[in-house]
Amino acid sequence: MEVTKFYESLLGIGEPWFVKGVVMDVAGRRVEVEIGCREKTAWGDEKEGRFHIQSWEERRWRHLDSCGFTTELVARVPRLKRPDGTTLMVEVPWAERYTRWTKAFGSFAIMVLKGARSTQEGCDLLGIGWEMAQRIMKRAVERGLEKRDLKDVRFAGVDEKSFKRGQDYVTVLTDLERGRVLEVTEGRSQESAKEAIGGLPAEVRQAVEAVAADFAPSYRAAVMEMLPSAVLVLDKFHAMQLLGKAVDEVRRAEHRRRLADKDETLTGTRQIWLKAVENLGKDDYLRLKELMAMDVKVGRAWVLKEQFRHFWSRRDRRRAVIHFKEWCSRAMRSRLKPIKRCARTFRERLDELLNYYLHPITNAVSEGLNSRIQALKANARGFRSFANYRISILFHLGGLDMAQ
């Protein structure tokens, strides 16, 4: 078989396209496949009609390697003139419009980039630049979003994730049942959350039954406005995180007072108070018992934190209400301002905490995805733009069908 016919078969090229020639540069380890077109003056089909060919423009596309040689396709592509005076470049069968890689190379690149530890590692394996890799990922995400099926989304999670250093955050909307990222928007405001939720079709928003979120008023307002049929479930991990911060605030204040009297009792104990008792190692557990015997204030705060943890393990909503009232009474009598502040916050949002007994969902899936997002950011050594950050997250964690 002639080499031109061989490449025509490999590329699946048919009329009016044909392979004119193949040039091999052994020293440069490159192969160039020149593709010709038999149409000369007009282009079209029975469905769209025929248009006059106004001009020809040379285009190049990166293709799959040939025996380890970098392979490019080159062709002069006709630009058509429409009756209304506008022009349109013909779409070639081996590549999507406006891309500089073939469909076969794009599909292979997607697999490599998804499997690589970082975009740069994928670029090195593919022998392409970072900008081309980013364009391939962007086109793949756009294709995946167009094909995405959202009809089964019943439970969603709204959470924030850091973007750059300082106070730069993004809002991440997740599908809690399928463990996928649905959308990423810049910022963590009410408008950011509304934009993320608003990306879902109207019929999908009507079908969402419950949303897990943290205590941010902005997220609460966005969910109530955009998902009026959904129940807001305050996430238990964020509730415990809030209590953990209150315990640490008590510890820091007490530690400062003791240090003023040259008492280093609480030095190096921060992690002990932040952990649940079952997560303490043997040494930390013994140290905790020793500190509790000294009746330190942070010890009382820690006990209240651990007691509240059982709120989500009651048999039903009624027993959870009883548990909360008893706990809240103890917290308000504790004379520990940070704990009392938490108790007031929980009391104000009690119905949303109790919604867990209607829909036992949490943002655990979101937190797991956040860890993977952090790994993406670390491997990339950060992202310069939000657009690239969003594309990377959806490419790797969106659960999208990006096949061409």
Contacts of 170 (CB under 8 A, 6+ apart): 160, 161, 162, 163, 184, 185, 186, 187, 188, 192, 386, 389, 390
Structure confidence by residue, pLDDT tens digits, 213-225: 999 999 999 999 9
Domain parsing of the chain, residue ranges: 1-99, 101-235+365-404, 236-357
Closest CA to 265 of 275, 278, 251: 251
Q: Which of 152, 181, 176, 318 is nearest to 237 (CA)?
A: 176
Using the predicted structure, report yes or no on whether residue 404 has a pLDDT greater than 80. Answer: no
- For 30-48, the pLDDT digits (tens) are 999 999 999 888 887 655 6
The answer to whether residue 70 scores a pLDDT higher than 60 is: yes
Average pLDDT of 384-391? 89
Dihedrals phi, psi of 39, to nearest 5 degrees: -70, 140
pLDDT of 51 reads 86
- What token pair was written down for 66? 């040939």
| Residues 164-185, mean pLDDT to the nearest whole number | 89
What integer pLDDT is reported at residue 226 of this predicted model?
A: 95
CA 137 to CA 81: how far, in whole Å? Answer: 32
Distance CA 193, CA 259 (A): 44
User: For residue 12, what pLDDT is reported?
Assistant: 87
**Is residue 279 scored above 70 in pLDDT?**
yes
What is the pLDDT confidence band of residue 166, given thresholds at 50, 70 and 90?
Answer: low
Q: Considering only residues 177 and 87, tell me which one the structure prediction assigns the higher pLDDT.
A: 177
Q: pLDDT confidence of 250, banded at 50, 70, 90?
A: very high
- Mind spelling out the 3-state secondary structure of the chain? CCHHHHHHHHHCCCCCEEEEEEEEECCCCEEEEEEEECCCCEEEECCCEEEEEEEEEEEEEEEEEECCEEEEEEEEEEEEECCCCCEEECCCCCCCCCCCECHHHHHHHHHHHHHCCCHHHHHHHHCCCHHHHHHHHHHHHHHHHHHCCCCCCCEEEEEEEECCCCCCEEEEEEECCCCEEEEEEECCCHHHHHHHHHCCCHHHHHHCCEEEECCCHHHHHHHHHHCCCCEEEECHHHHHHHHHHHHHHHHHHHHHHHHHCCCCCCCCCHHHHHCCHHHCCHHHHHHHHHHHHCCCHHHHHHHHHHHHHHHHHCCCHHHHHHHHHHHHHHHHCCCCHHHHHHHHHHHHCHHHHHHHHCCCCCCHHHHHHHHHHHHHHHHCCCCCCHHHHHHHHHHHHCCCCCCC
* CB of 86 closer than 8 Å to CB of 51: no
277-292 average pLDDT score: 91
pLDDT value for 46: 53
Closest CA to 256 of 298, 301, 303: 298
Q: What is the arithmetic mean of pLDDT over 165-180? A: 88
Mean pLDDT of 2-6: 87
For 101-235+365-404, which CATH superfamily applies? Answer: Ribonuclease H-like superfamily/Ribonuclease H (3.30.420.10)
pLDDT at position 41: 85
The residue type of 27 is A
Please state the pTM of the whole predicted model.
0.87
Angle at 161 between CA 155 and CA 165, to 5 degrees: 175
Q: Residue 83: is the preceding peptide bond cis (ω within 30°)? A: no
In tens, the pLDDT along 335-348 reads 999 999 999 999 99
Q: What token pair was written down for 205?
A: 């928003």
Query: What angle in degrees, to the nearest 10, is found between the helix axes of 337-348 and 236-260?
Result: 160
pLDDT for the residue numbered 333: 96
Average pLDDT value for the chain: 92
Residue 6 has pLDDT above 80, yes or no: yes
Q: Which amino acid is at 97?
A: R
Given this model, what pLDDT does residue 1 score? 58
Furthest CA-CA distance within the chain:
94
In tens, the pLDDT along 121-164 reads 999 999 999 999 999 999 999 999 999 989 889 999 999 988 87
